[in-house]
Amino acid sequence: MTVPENVRREAERLRNLIRYHNRLYYTEDRTEISDGEYDALMRKLMELEERWPELRTEDSPTLRVGAEPLSAFPPVIWDPPMLSLDNVFSEEEFRDWENRITRELGLDAPPAYSFEPKLDGLAVALVYRNGILERAGTRGDGRVGEDVTRNVRTIRSVPLRLEGEVPAKLVVRGEVIFRKKDFLEMNRKRVQRGLEPFSNPRNAASGSLRQLDSRVTASRPLSFVAYGTAEWPPGIDSMRSLFEFLERAGLPVNPRNTVCFGARQVVEAFRKLEKEREELPWEIDGAVVKLDSAEMQRAMGTASRSPRWAVAWKFRAEEAVTRLLDIEVQVGRTGRLTPVARLEPVNVGGVTVSRATLHNEDELLRKDVRPGDSVIVRRAGDVIPEVVRSLGNPDGERAERFRFPRKCPVCGGPVIREESEAAHRCINPSCPARLRESILHWGSRDALNIDGLGGKLAEQLVDSGLVGDFADLYHLNAEELAGLPRMGKKSAEKLLEELERSKGADLERFLTGLGIPGVGRTVARALASAFPDIHALAEADVESLMRVEGVGPILAGTIRRFFGDPVTAGVVRRLLDVGFDPKGSGGVRGGGRLEGLTIVFTGALSMPRERARALAEAAGARVTGSVSGETDLLVAGPGAGSKLKKAVALGVKVVDEDEFLEMIGKKAGNG
């Protein structure tokens, strides 16, 4: 269907408006419309593109909403490589660097430098082909990074189409960051939702950009700031002219970039930057000083890992001395235990610090800090303050070493330290500190696959006090559920049906849902193959567990402790009391009627695909996702396509859902 001309004009108007407001915010730091008005423009454009798909262009702002998750990031090769910078930490070290520059270039006077605040984020490169964003990737090791194109497209400050005249291929380098105000607002919203706030903008930016689900990246207010190009564009001969060129093309650059002549001006600029760093809109950890001249940069060349024409002058970490009053242990949403120092309040870099992280038991022992000690506390940028080391107890005798708890300080459940990890974790899935995450995992596709039990509902159930334990899910009634926000009568009834159905879960899914550290889907499947039911597994000793493929001595000890500790054993007992009786494939296997067969499902089925898979596996079959010469049986529902054609061509036996249920001894309609 031909797109009406007035619709085409409206779509272009919306695109131009959205690009205009993006540029205002990210390059001029001002706004003319509210967030709600901006979102309305985006929604209207999305509606037009959904109705007329041919309107969607390769630079449309709607690409910023994200797409289906990837299984992994493909590699991206950088040539020339994205090199890291050498560091200096003092005026003396910087002057030594300048002396080398002037000596090697044979200069009679100090050169001009580009002085740029060093943004503390994640380095990326954007590849533009004929002005359109084609690819984006992280620095990685300099030569090989990760292709994060879909994620970078969600960042509003990254232009999807450059403006003006640009080379056919342009590789722009820059930093992905969080502005301070955006970071604080994001953390405020996370706390409102019961989530842990991110500790600092740099780590949050790195983690947000490297999400396999680009929709997660799209939900976080990242920014991009350009600081250079892989090669000099034609006609550009200095950093000054390069930044002007990038701005004309629509790319944000740091407005605090300036030009200094000689070390004296650089030192003055650095001291000024140190004083003003707290007032800047983004976190910085120093300054980058580059030769301004393109010709001089080429003459200096590069070393194996860093350019010889640029250096990073880093701020020294801000430190202070105070008294350690006590050591407490916090439990995070994943059950991780973190030791935290409670301190006499002290000013560190303009911020009053009364608590500081001690990271984990290994760090605690290495630093040997004890209550009563005088300690050095460090704060760099917005990073959570940390205790650097102990100066001993000024009063003389020191307290005993801190002993890491064997029981969770929140719930009293067992605490374990996983193999090859420094972290200790509470393994009680019903621990109040981790209950929201536990319930979300319990209902996930790999576990009990409870449709409707998502993150928001898990949060509401815990916050309302309706659920304090897995078993409480199975005592809910329709009236209680319907009283929750956005949970009507039909949704409540459907959830109760899903919960009732989940009681029939096999041992593999039941174990996966419990979230025992080290017991993912693969190990759970191996355990379910080795034991006939949950009772046999719960009574198994370490030696028996170690005979299971993939279970070593440490994991066997964790499993034994989970089923032997009264707190976590109580979680399992209460689930059995509400009707669970999970069987393993090592016990009764649906009569073993499909033993040794390889099965593929295709088309629409009346039951969830995961349920069909579980029934087939319980009957001894191996379920795969594609038809091949190894396939013994294809179960085809309505709408079956290419898999059915291939099965027929290969002579694979084809049955419908009713025939499949008869084969495993189930009556059609009651599976």
Q: What is the pLDDT of residue 576?
A: 95
The amino acid sitting at 638 is: P
Lowest-pLDDT range of 145-154, 297-306, 344-353, 561-570 = 344-353
Give me Rg for the CA atoms of the chain.
30
Please work out, in degrees rounded to the nearest 5, the angle formed at the alpha carbon of residue 520 by the alpha carbons of 66 and 460. 60
Domains and CATH numbers, the chain: 5-65 (1.10.287.610), 87-314 (3.30.470.30), 318-390 (2.40.50.140), 429-587 (1.10.150.20), 590-663 (3.40.50.10190)
Lowest-pLDDT range of 36-45, 369-378, 453-462, 501-510 = 36-45
Question: The sheet that has 169-177: what strands, in order across it?
Answer: 132-138, 122-129, 169-177, 223-229
For the chain, count helices (H), then strands (E).
24, 22
Res 321 pLDDT > 70 = yes
Q: What is the pLDDT of residue 456?
A: 85
Res 606 pLDDT > 70 = yes
Res 670 pLDDT > 70 = no
124-139: average pLDDT: 94
DSSP string over 355-385: EEE--SHHHHHHHT--TT-EEEEEE-TTSPP
Q: What is the pLDDT of residue 643?
A: 86
Which of 291, 285, 227 shows the shortest CA–CA distance to 253?
227
Active-site residue flag, 118: yes
Helices 5-28, 35-51: inter-axial angle, 10-degree rounding:
150
Question: The sheet that has 87-88: what strands, in order across it?
Answer: 87-88, 310-314, 284-291, 112-119, 258-261
Q: Residues 123, 175: contact at Cβ < 8 Å?
A: yes
Write the DSSP symbol of residue 302: B
Res 112 pLDDT > 60 = yes
Q: What is the pLDDT of residue 590?
A: 40
Q: What is the pLDDT of residue 349?
A: 65
Res 7 pLDDT > 70 = yes
**Average pLDDT of the residues of the chain:** 86
Question: 46: which 2 tokens?
Answer: 């999305």
The most distant pair of C-alpha atoms in the chain lies apart, rounded to whole Å, by 94
Question: Residues with Cβ < 8 Å from 87, sequence gap 6 or more?
Answer: 311, 312, 313, 314
How far is 158 from 63, CA to CA, in rounded Å?
12
Residue given tokens 């930016």 in the structure block: 205
Q: What is the pLDDT of residue 295?
A: 95
Q: Which of 118, 290, 314, 367 is catalytic?
A: 118
Beta-carbon count within 10 A of 663 CB = 20
